[in-house]
A and B are shown apart, each in its own frame.
Chain A
Amino acid sequence: ETGVTQTPRHLVMGMTNKKSLKCEQHLGHNAMYWYKQSAKKPLELMFVYNFKEQTENNSVPSRFSPECPNSSHLFLHLHTLQPEDSALYLCASSQDRAGSYNEQFFGPGTRLTVL
């Protein structure tokens, strides 16, 4: 596997379910991100992790809980979601070298539907 992978690619869940999205990067990067892309809205940054530490939470509701056990893996734990949380969830990573431009590499996303 190369680049950034996300599983599952599609997920349908009820509002009372608990599920997790997984992201893995094979690029040796130190920073990882979760973005949300709703229909007809711009991509919204949700969380940023640098060297496994959360450095940004963009006012995301607590029903979304991120976890970064190491620099290669990022999870998004979901519980008691609402139908309006249905969206494409994208993971990205970057090198995070100080003083230089760090291109972000995106995964293909998980298409989430909340019933």
Chain B
Amino acid sequence: DAKTTQPNSMESNEEEPVHLPCNHSTISGTDYIHWYRQLPSQGPEYVIHGLTSNVNNRMASLAIAEDRKSSTLILHRATLRDAAVYYCILRSQGGSEKLVFGKGTKLTVNP
């Protein structure tokens, strides 16, 4: 599986936007970009995924660079509940169902 690189930690203030970056310079044409997050004392939960175009859902937006070598997860207005470890994961279309987790980015949201 292609590798992703994320900052170890980031901080944000409540009600401000947060941009969580992910580099994936070895991404292949069939790799989808997935984001999961893990709140304290819980299992991970799905956030969003995309292939080439930017994606929006009720939780977040995903901005994908034109060359697909990087992407950014955008939380439009951070809340205290968004404090979590965010994982950027690549998974090949039609490939194994498994997710390969890295260390992720620990997001701290300040009140």
Contacts and interface: CB of A to CB of B under 8 A. Distances in A.
Contacts of B100: 45
A101 B94 CA distance: 9
A94 interface: yes
A48 interface: yes
B98 A45 contact: yes
Given A90-B43, A92-B43, A108-B42, A101 B101 contact: no
Nearest to B96: A56
B102 interface: yes
Contact of B94 (A44, A92, A99, A105): A99
**Max chain A CB contacts within 10 Å: which of B41, B94, B102?**
B41
**Max chain A CB contacts within 10 Å: which of B36, B45, B97?**
B97
Interface of B is mostly: loop
Contacts of A43: 44, 99, 101
B97 A96 contact: yes
Contact of A102 (B41, B97, B102): B97
B43 A106 contact: yes
Given A99-B94, A101-B32, A101-B49, A42 B101 contact: yes
**Max chain B CB contacts within 10 Å: which of A44, A48, A94, A106?**
A106
A50 B94 CA distance: 15
Contact of A56 (B41, B45, B98): B98
A50 B99 CA distance: 15
A35 B98 CA distance: 10
A44 B102 CA distance: 9
Nearest to B43: A106
B77 interface: no
A106 B103 CA distance: 17
Interface string A66-101: 000000000000000000000000111010100101
Nearest to B47: A103
Contact of B44 (A44, A45, A99, A106): A106
